[in-house]
Amino acid sequence: MKNRLLIILFLISNYAYSQKATFVIGKNYEGVIFPKEHPIWGFPPESGRYTPSEEDITRAEKILQDSIGTDYIAENQRQYKKLTINKKTLRKYIRQYLGYLTSEGNVIIRVYLYRGIEMDDEKLSKDIIEIQDGGSNYWNIDINLSTKELSGMSVNGIS
């Protein structure tokens, strides 16, 4: 009985540990990587979740940096009088990263970006932070590492 209890406690602690977000800092970016086991918004992980490596994040950030100024990024900011997301402001955002694998085997990194919002490391690593309105201080985008394409960009509205 004692051995069973120890095994159960070990499995529970191992599961809890595997859900911990990892902090990453690179050139002009910092944020947290959520592992595939981490529940988001209280829901169990979706199928197809993937734990990005720091190398994956570096590649995603390079694709994002190289894409700033493209028609895709500009078009998704059309509600603003001037483009507030640009190469100069991009480094001011803190990030949260989720990884997904498509049925074709492509790796997608979803990046949530926040600027001008007070948050500590614990809050940042606990769950995806949802902000209503907030304008260009909060946005997200999907980056396909396999095709180097961007999709799903969403910039918060203006209240």
Quote the pTM value: 0.82
How confident is the model at residue 83, as a pLDDT? 63
What distance, in Å, lies between the first and last C-alpha atoms of the chain?
58
Q: Give the pLDDT of residue 51.
A: 95
- For tokens 């995806």, name the residue: 128
Q: Which whole number is the average pLDDT over 5-18? A: 44
- When mean pLDDT is compared over 80-94, 95-109, 116-130, the highest value belongs to 95-109
More confident residue, 57 or 85: 57
CA distances to 66, 72, 104, 125 from 97, rounded to whole Å, are 18, 21, 21, 10
